[in-house]
A and B are shown apart, each in its own frame.
Chain A
Amino acid sequence: MERALIISLKVLAIDIPLLALLGGGIGWLLVRRDFWGRELVSLLVQLPIILPPSVLGLYLLFALGRISIFREAGFLFAFPAAVLGALLPSLPIMIQASRAAFAGVDREMEEAALTLGRRPWEVFLRVTLPLARRTLLVGLALSSARALGDFGVTLMVAGNIPGRTQTLPLFIYGQVESLNLARAHVAALLLVGVGIASLCLVRRLESGAHERLA
């Protein structure tokens, strides 16, 4: 179980920064930049939430197998595939939160900061980001929990190889199959604990956000 736990933690260690950057960035683009095809993009990025993990997994499988860089890099059925498999279905959650977060920042705050002589990147770091922070963190907590718990997509593209791609959810599946129910329970309890902890964090962040607004 330790090995599965370590793999899960390693996946998270890579996915959390990716979620923050990609999810946060795409959400910001969708809210603050007007570009051709924005509606289509905002629809497409939400798709992974609705699609069954097996369908998502199938397409990712083909992408990783067909696109030569990924194929040559040997992503398929290896650790990178586990990272991608967990990232893909959790990214829309982060994008959604990031859109809400940036849309909630009053444009006038940013404009006022600009007229006070601050460059756009300073305005982003000192005004936009701090004001969007709480909602962004809520999104990050929820999407990370989703990434930690991914089962279907990871199974499709990374397989269930103990010590290499077997994350905690896959470990539970394996233990149940071989009727090691006690070990499955311990691992499941661990995930329940993480889930409750992240929900508590979200609750705290959300109530804090309300206090600030009041």
Chain B
Amino acid sequence: MNALLDAQISERIGDFSLDVSLRLGREIGVLFGPSGSGKSMTLRCLAGLRRVRSGRIELSGRVLLDPDAGICEPPHRRKMGLLFQDLALFPHMTTLENVLFGCERTGKGRAKSIAREWLARVRLESLEDRYPSQLSGGQRQRVALARALANEPEMLMLDEPFSALDGPLRRNLRRELRKLHDETGVPILYVTHQVEDICALADKVFFIEKGKLTGSTLISDLTRGRGRVDLWKMMGWGNILEGNVRLNQEGVPSFHWASGELSLKDVPGSGQAIAFVRPDRVKFLDPRMPVDGELSGNAFSGKVEEVLLDGGSFRIHVRTPRGQWQIEQSETASPVRVFRPGELVHFAIPPGAIELIFLEETKGDRRLGSSIVEVRA
């Protein structure tokens, strides 16, 4: 795919240095990294809200920044929409006026119909006379989206625009954004620190840490194989174990790693492998109830170390004698159990939830084996 955005930015601010290069086609790219890693600053540099001393930015064939050639287009000529975390809707303008502000230059009469069309697209046509303070959170997000798109930007950037919204609303807006992207074909660069957003929205992920790009990858390349493990590793998400798959005399497979073993289900083959367990596939057990036979071999207990609310789910870190485990519980799970740090919990890894990636040993250099097997429940 031809890159519409080709950007390379180097900038120092005090102790912090930003050094990223991005290429993006007609896709949705996600900038993923911990807070303070320079994601928002990257967007500001791209939009021209922050002066960059060295680098180069090209969008749809237009050079927006090239300090050596003395080119630095001001933000209003870059045609790059930016949706701020706080949305920055103009409080003194109605919904319609806000959207009009983005497209008025096309001539008054036409602009009004364009603005109304965009409001209809985000299903807000009936609220055009309301002020932003009279709208709900989700409605405000949609106004901001309509305003940015009505300006017909050549690229749209979003700085964690849905972070203030809860689960179902977030999902709706993500769907809406995806739909708008499919309709308009505008490349989108989206900043997030939530894993969920990547899986649901992105075509391409850029990993950024401490101002540096640590990797980028296409989501389609990640649906299987080693790449997926790399993705989870980079995101610090999931339970990754390195060990061996062995078959006993009866041919029953199990996975052995440094501090224990897990029973497996229907595995063709054996050998060195990586086992990956999605945190949301781990099951909590009630010690008063009998354990399902399948789970009994893979039961653990340990102390809760940390509980994080991330998006619509709780992420719980549990320390056991056999390593640390990440477990995720959806906020909408029923019954919702509230975990506290220090609490003793029991959980099990369903054999069907263990994804295996076989590795081949060649002179100490580990390569992806010929047989990549994913076990699905």
Contacts and interface: CB of A to CB of B under 8 A. Distances in A.
Contacts of A72: none
Interface centre among A114, A120, A126, A131 (most CB of B within 10 A): A114
Interface centre among B47, B101, B148 (most CB of A within 10 A): B101
B133 A114 contact: no
Contacts, number: 63
B91 A116 contact: no
Instruction: Rank and list the top 8 A-B pairs by shortest CB-CB distance, nearest first.
Output: A112-B88, A114-B75, A108-B88, A115-B82, A116-B102, A130-B92, A114-B76, A116-B151
Interface string B142-160: 0000011001010000000
A108 B90 contact: no
B237 interface: no
B37 to A, nearest CB: 20
A131 B133 CA distance: 14
A204 to B, nearest CB: 17
A213 to B, nearest CB: 8
A99 to B, nearest CB: 20
Interface in A110-134: 111-120, 123, 126-127, 130-131
Contacts of A33: none
A161 to B, nearest CB: 47
A114 B49 contact: yes
B49 A111 contact: yes
Nearest to B144: A112
Nearest to B102: A116
B92 A112 contact: no
Nearest to A122: B76
Interface of A: 106, 108-109, 111-120, 123, 126-127, 130-131, 212-214
A116 B92 contact: no
Interface in B35-78: 47-49, 74-78
Contact of B84 (A108, A120, A130, A214): A108
A120 B88 contact: no
Contact of A115 (B49, B90, B105): B49
B226 interface: no
A131 B77 CA distance: 24
B265 to A, nearest CB: 52
Given A108-B84, A131-B91, A117 B49 contact: no
7 contacts: A109-B88, A112-B82, A117-B77, A117-B105, A120-B76, A126-B101, A131-B92
A106 B132 CA distance: 15
B79 A106 contact: no
A113 B101 contact: yes
Contacts of A114: 48-49, 74-76
B80 A116 contact: no
Nearest to A126: B101
Contacts of B49: 111, 114-115
Interface of B: 47-49, 74-82, 84, 86, 88, 90-92, 101-102, 105, 133, 147-148, 151, 153
Nearest to B77: A117
A119 B79 CA distance: 12
Given A115-B75, A115-B82, A117-B105, 7 more contacts: A106-B86, A109-B88, A111-B47, A114-B75, A114-B76, A116-B81, A131-B92
B101 A115 contact: no
Contact of A112 (B48, B84, B105): B84
Nearest to A111: B49
Contacts of A111: 47, 49, 75, 82, 84, 88
A112 B85 CA distance: 11
Contacts of A108: 84, 86, 88
Contacts of B90: 109, 113, 127, 131
A65 to B, nearest CB: 47
B151 A117 contact: yes
B102 A117 contact: yes
Nearest to A108: B88
A127 B102 CA distance: 13
A106 B84 CA distance: 12
Nearest to B50: A111
Interface centre among A112, A212, A213 (most CB of B within 10 A): A112
Contacts of A123: 76
B92 A117 contact: no
B328 to A, nearest CB: 33
Contacts of B148: 115-116
A141 B259 CA distance: 76
